[in-house]
Structure 1
Amino acid sequence: MNLDVLSTPGHLISLAARGFARLSEARLKPLGFGVGHLPVLVALQDGRASTQRDLARFAKIEQPPMAQMLARMERDGLIERAPDPTDRRSSRITLTEAAEARLPDAVAVLLRGNQEVLSGFTDGEVVLLVDLLTRLIANLDRLAAAEAPPATPVHEKD
């Protein structure tokens, strides 16, 4: 079977992800957010994470890029850091009042964008698409974990 590589699920999902990112980035910029900020903002708002290490795990990105993003977010007035009372090597990260005030608008912008790009899809198709993508991501995570080299213990500063 000669499958056109440009018609594979991986390539099409990559195109869709880049399209979503471009649309979201353009719509979030006036609010002072970037599309990469959203997992961090949501995790901080929901209390799912409050340290750099936890945020990196939640957002599924490595520590160095997370540190860079947090530095930019702090510079832009989106987050604040305070010493962790239980671990002097770590900081607790919280949203600023300004970020918290603008976050509902950002979420609304993203939800509206999702509705627009799913125009013409039935509710059942949307549910199925979300289910399929969730399963696909779980498979990717499982494969990545199986192929990852063994971790070497490193003392990382939060």
Structure 2
Amino acid sequence: MQARNLTNKDVLSTPGHLISLAARGFARLSEARLKPLGFGVGHLPVLVALRDGRASTQRDLARFAKIEQPPMAQMLARMERDGLIQRTPDPADGRSSHVSMTQAAEARLPSAVAALLRGNCEALSGFTDQEAAQLVVLLTRLIANLDRVASVEAAPCVPA
């Protein structure tokens, strides 16, 4: 996509702005549906990673959820307080803990996933299956591009 001179009106039609609006809309809908189940939107990547065995430490969970360690530590503390996870010391590394989902969270997780999937279905009302699949492909590619750009910009500057 070529850069062009944008007016204030045009900037509201950019993919970045529209995706931001869509993300906020999804977040509001998801929070409203997850709250009665005792979950927040941020909890789901953690719980799914724990359920599927993709992560079991704070560091791995932060990497999986693509957030920094301090916010992950805060979220895990709240989740532990709310009875969604439990931490046990790692016998091989005294500085680390293994994180696991509680039975209470495991019992409610299927309802939470169903609520999110229902919200996605409703949001994609009027889209064909092909359009919905194409949107996923495009967003996945966009996220990869953003990750690439962010990692290049975050790389330390090495003097020549």
Q: TM-score range by the shorter chain?
A: over 0.9
Q: How many residue pairs end up in the alignment?
A: 150
- TM-score calculated relative to the size of structure 1: 0.93
Could you say which residue in structure 1 is the equivalent of 2:44? 38
In 1, Cα distance between equivalents of 2:107 and 2:93: 29
Q: Quick one: percent identity of the two aligned structures?
A: 84
Structure 1 gap ranges (5+): 151-158
Q: Distance in 2 between matches of 1:131 and 1:39?
A: 20
1:67 corresponds to: 73
Which has the higher Rg, Structure 1 or Structure 2? 2
Residue 83 (1) aligns with residue 103 (2): no
Q: Note if 1:118 corresponds to 2:124.
A: yes
Q: Counterparts of 1:47 and 1:36 in 2: how far apart (Å)?
A: 18
Report which structure shows greater RCO (CA 8 Å, sep ≥6). 1
Indicate the RMSD between aligned Cα atoms, in angstroms. Answer: 0.8
SS of the residue corresponding to residue 12 of structure 2 reads: helix
What's the counterpart of residue 15 of structure 1? 21
The one-character-per-residue Cα deviations of 1:47-99 (angstroms, maximum 9, x if unpaired) are 00000000000000000000000000000000000011221110000000000
Take 1:138 and 1:60, find their aligned partners in 2: how far apart are those partners? 12
1:30 is paired with a residue of what secondary structure?
helix
Structure 2: unaligned runs, 5 residues or longer: none
Return closer, same or farther for 1:101/1:118 CA change in 2, 3 Å cut-off. same
Where has structure 1 moved over 4 Å in runs of 4 or more?
A: none
Specify the code of the residue in structure 2 equivalent to 1:75.
Answer: R
Which amino acid in 1 is paired with 2:55? A
Quick one: which amino acid aligns to residue 20 of structure 2? S
Q: TM-score, normalised by structure 2?
A: 0.92
